[in-house]
């Protein structure tokens, strides 16, 4: 084996071993873009970025399992990225577009969603459940909250506090959701 071949093989192995983590970082990046879009009042762009983040979140796990490159670091990284993309970004989107009008109450409900998402992710990281999730995964909760934003002209504004509260309770509850 030549030196060039050896270097190529090592580089390929290192890149391959980080493929899932790279997809996870794309998830994080899209969550960051979603937050920045909210701050600029571009709510439609924020929705699109969160939906794309969900696609990358789905892909990172599939790739890790397919390439047999799952790791504890990857699991932790995924959770850290998910709190941004499916906790902070959707909560900020709904706060800025609807809940701001409720002042402190709107802020409290926004923080409740983020906190329950963090609790849900922490619980996931320290428990091993084969074939099911305990509580509603934050990805699902964040996507539901994001899609509910699209109803903000038809649903009364106070309903969004109930949506957030319901999703928050479902994230920290102990019911089982089958993994797909």
* DSSP symbols for 123-140: HHHH---SSEEES--HHH
Q: How confident is the model at residue 11 (pLDDT cuts 50, 70, 90)?
A: low
Could you identify the residue written with the tokens 């983040």? 53
Domain ranges of the chain: 3-178
pTM: 0.90
The gap from C-alpha 82 to its chain's centroid, in whole angstroms, comes to 3
Tell me the residue ranges of DSSP E strands in the chain: 132-134, 176-178
- Is residue 58 within 8 Å of 114, Cβ to Cβ? no
User: If one looks up domain 3-178 in CATH, what number appears?
Assistant: 1.20.120.1760
pLDDT value of residue 114: 98
Mean pLDDT over all residues of the chain?
Answer: 90
- Give per-residue pLDDT as tens, 52-104: 999 999 998 888 888 887 788 888 999 999 999 999 999 999 999 999 999 99
């Amino acid at each position: 084996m030549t030196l060039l071949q050896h270097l190529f093989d090592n580089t390929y192995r290192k890149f391959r071993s980080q493929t899932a983590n790279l997809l996870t970082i794309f998830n994080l990046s899209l969550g960051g873009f979603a937050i920045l879009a909210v701050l600029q009042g571009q709510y439609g762009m924020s929705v699109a970025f969160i939906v794309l983040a969900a696609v990358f979140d789905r892909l990172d796990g599939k790739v890790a399992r397919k390439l047999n490159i799952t790791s504890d670091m990857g699991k932790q990284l995924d959770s850290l990225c998910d709190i941004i993309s499916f906790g902070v970004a959707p909560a900020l989107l709904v706060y800025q577009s609807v809940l701001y009008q409720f002042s402190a109450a709107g802020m409290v409900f926004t923080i409740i969603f983020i906190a329950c998402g963090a609790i849900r992710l922490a619980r996931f990281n320290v428990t091993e459940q084969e074939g099911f999730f305990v509580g509603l995964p934050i990805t699902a909760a964040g996507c539901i909250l994001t899609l509910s934003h699209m109803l903000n002209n038809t649903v009364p504004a106070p309903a969004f506090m109930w949506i957030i509260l319901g999703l928050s309770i479902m994230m920290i509850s102990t019911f089982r959701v089958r993994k797909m």
